[in-house]
């Protein structure tokens, strides 16, 4: 029997293990999921919501315990881990109600015809989720899929199987058998699920390369896909920017979760007139960030999830310095507590000939480019195949005009990208090669459904 060990990246110690799902079992798992889905879909949307009603309170009661487990598995500070659990559980009933309202039938009619727009389940959905937000990203993929009436086969990252299993366990306590099935494994299991007959919808959060493979494989049977892929998010700091707010945002968004966030700020374009003041403030903000194990109460920045990820980031830093970039803060020589740590690093003198400016870093590195004006900042910010998020700080009219031209799915003007939370919230959207389909919010919830129009004579 093969197992997957979960390793604490701060200490190298084992946190626990799970049993690997043999690839040969996947066709049978899909068949079980199909049979369960047909019974699950027979329930109304409101009935499915009622079945799920107890899950949120169970998770919330265990928020401290599960937050610690999450921290030990992937390295983020315990407070952030607890916050992630609470983000999934504290507003559970309201979130379920918002999903239900978003996918409820709608009636449209004219003098002769009454048409009802139904949003029906696709059938069997596969959710493949990442390690950086191992509960939240699973939650965003699984909950709307279940409420829509799909069954879910859930393959979490092999880096964080324990917290993912805990989330699934909480759901499985309420769900009928086989409506949610967990498959543990690595890329081999993921590829088998994507290729499997009987899968109707694939949702995935992860790298652009993996997303390209999934899209190509899914196209063979025209399976529906929702892909949230990598990013190389820019921050533009322009004339008239509130320097203190811009610097505080840059430090927080570049380095939180050790830069292992799909919408981390990875590139900063700052105009010459504000560059000296911004850099002074940015370096000062970065110096306040405490590096250490996620379980330590003073830690703000934890380790990278594993040595492979750490080495990839180190390679980008080394390559940039070899090509002429300068280290303004952090760097590989900074004192660090263990093998998987990289200090929050600011690089200046960066050009687009460097990998650190063009390839996703997914680590605590901010690449700073000084530019002549807002138009140069915009041109360089858009010089990428990615397009997840982007932020502009500057005089309001200028920042709004430049921000509207950013090739990103989500744009923040003098704030982060996070949109209004009312009425189900705004969707999480990637442009260009950062996304295919989208999720979250009213529009995102509807992507887990097959739209179906049924028309009848009005006088029938």
Query: How far, in Å, are 57, 105, 119, 458, 460 from residue 114 at the CA level?
Result: 41, 13, 16, 5, 9
Residue 335 in this model has a pLDDT that exceeds 70? no
135 C-beta neighbours (distance < 10 Å), count: 26
- Dist CA 171 CA 460 (whole Å): 42
User: How large is the average pLDDT for residues 201-225?
Assistant: 96
User: How large is the average pLDDT for residues 265-290?
Assistant: 98
Residue 201's closest CA among 145, 158, 147, 157?
Answer: 145
User: How large is the average pLDDT for residues 287-314?
Assistant: 95
Residue 234's closest CA among 109, 358, 50?
Answer: 358
Secondary structure of residue 373 in the 3-state scheme: coil
Residues 6+ apart with CB under 8 A from 67: 78, 79, 81, 82, 83, 84, 85, 86
Residues 6+ apart with CB under 8 A from 296: none
Q: Report all structural domains of the chain as residue ranges with CATH numbers, in order of start.
A: 3-229+430-457 (3.40.605.10), 233-413 (3.40.309.10)
Please state, rounded to an integer, the average pLDDT across all residues of the chain. 96
Q: How confident is the model at residue 460 (pLDDT cuts 50, 70, 90)?
A: low
| Predicted pLDDT at 333 | 87
Residue 185's closest CA among 228, 142, 126?
Answer: 126
Catalytic amino acids?
228, 262
Query: How far, in Å, are 270, 349, 372, 394, 399 from residue 412 at the CA level?
Result: 16, 25, 22, 11, 9
b/e per residue 203-242 (b: at least 16 CB within 10 A): bbbbebebbebbbeebeeeebbbbbbbbbbbbbbbbebbe
User: How large is the average pLDDT for residues 278-303?
Assistant: 96
Q: How confident is the model at residue 263 (pLDDT cuts 50, 70, 90)?
A: very high
Positions of E strands within 122-155 = 124-128, 151-155
DSSP state of 163: H
DSSP state of 447: G
- Dist CA 439 CA 430 (whole Å): 10
The string of pLDDT tens digits covering residues 352-376 is: 999 999 999 999 999 999 999 999 9
Backbone angles phi, psi at 33, to 5 degrees: -65, -40
DSSP state of 199: -
Tokens, residue 5: 């060990």
Rg (CA), the chain: 23
Residue 330 in this model has a pLDDT that exceeds 90? yes
The string of pLDDT tens digits covering residues 142-180 is: 999 999 999 999 999 999 999 999 999 999 999 999 999
| Predicted pLDDT at 255 | 98
Residue 392 in this model has a pLDDT that exceeds 70? yes
In the block, residue with structure tokens 């002074």: 280
The string of pLDDT tens digits covering residues 32-77 is: 999 999 999 999 999 999 999 999 999 999 999 999 999 999 999 9
- State how beta strands 365-371 and 14-19 pair: unpaired
DSSP state of 251: H
């Amino acid at each position: 029997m093969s197992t997957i060990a979960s390793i604490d990246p701060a200490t190298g110690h084992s946190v626990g293990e799970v049993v690997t799902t043999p690839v040969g079992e996947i066709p049978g798992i899909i068949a079980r999921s199909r049979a369960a889905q047909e019974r699950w879909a027979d329930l109304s949307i409101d009935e499915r919501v009622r079945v799920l009603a107890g899950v949120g309170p169970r998770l919330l009661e265990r928020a401290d315990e599960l937050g610690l487990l999450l921290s030990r598995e992937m390295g983020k500070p315990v407070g952030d881990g607890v916050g992630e659990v609470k983000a999934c559980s504290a507003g559970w009933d309201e979130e379920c109600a918002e999903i239900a309202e978003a996918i409820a039938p709608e009636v449209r009619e004219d003098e002769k015809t009454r048409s009802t727009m139904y949003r029906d389940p696709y059938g069997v959905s596969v959710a493949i989720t990442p390690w950086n937000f191992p509960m939240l990203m699973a939650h965003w993929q699984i909950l709307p899929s279940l409420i829509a009436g799909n069954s879910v086969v859930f393959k979490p990252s092999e880096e964080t199987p324990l917290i993912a299993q805990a989330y699934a366990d909480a759901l499985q306590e309420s769900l009928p058998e086989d409506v949610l099935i967990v498959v543990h494994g690595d890329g081999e299991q993921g590829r088998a699920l994507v290729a499997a007959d009987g899968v109707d919808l694939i949702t995935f959060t992860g790298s652009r390369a993996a997303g390209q493979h999934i899209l190509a494989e899914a196209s063979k049977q025209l399976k529906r896909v929702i892909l949230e892929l990598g990013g190389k998010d820019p921050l533009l700091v322009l004339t008239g920017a509130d320097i203190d707010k811009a610097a505080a945002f840059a430090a927080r968004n570049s380095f939180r979760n050790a830069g292992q966030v799909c919408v981390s700020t990875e590139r900063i374009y700052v105009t010459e007139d504000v560059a000296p003041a911004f850099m002074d403030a940015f370096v000062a903000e970065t110096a306040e960030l405490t590096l250490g194990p996620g379980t330590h109460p003073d830690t703000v920045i934890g380790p990278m999830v594993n040595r492979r990820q750490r080495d990839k980031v180190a390679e980008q830093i080394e390559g940039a310095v070899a090509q002429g970039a300068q280290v303004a803060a952090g760097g590989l020589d900074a004192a660090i507590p263990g093998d998987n740590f990289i200090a929050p690093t600011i690089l200046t003198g960066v050009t687009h000939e460097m990998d650190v400016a063009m390839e996703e870093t997914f680590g605590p590195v901010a690449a700073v480019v000084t530019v002549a004006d807002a138009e140069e900042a915009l041109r360089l910010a858009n010089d990428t195949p990615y397009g997840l998020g982007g932020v502009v700080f500057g005089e309001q009219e200028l920042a709004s005009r430049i921000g509207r031209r950013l090739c990103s799915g989500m744009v923040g003007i003098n704030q982060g990208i996070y949109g209004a939370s009312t009425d189900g919230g705004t969707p999480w959207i990637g442009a260009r090669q950062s996304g295919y389909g989208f999720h979250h919010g009213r529009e995102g919830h509807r992507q887990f459904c097959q739209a179906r129009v049924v028309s009848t004579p009005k006088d029938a």
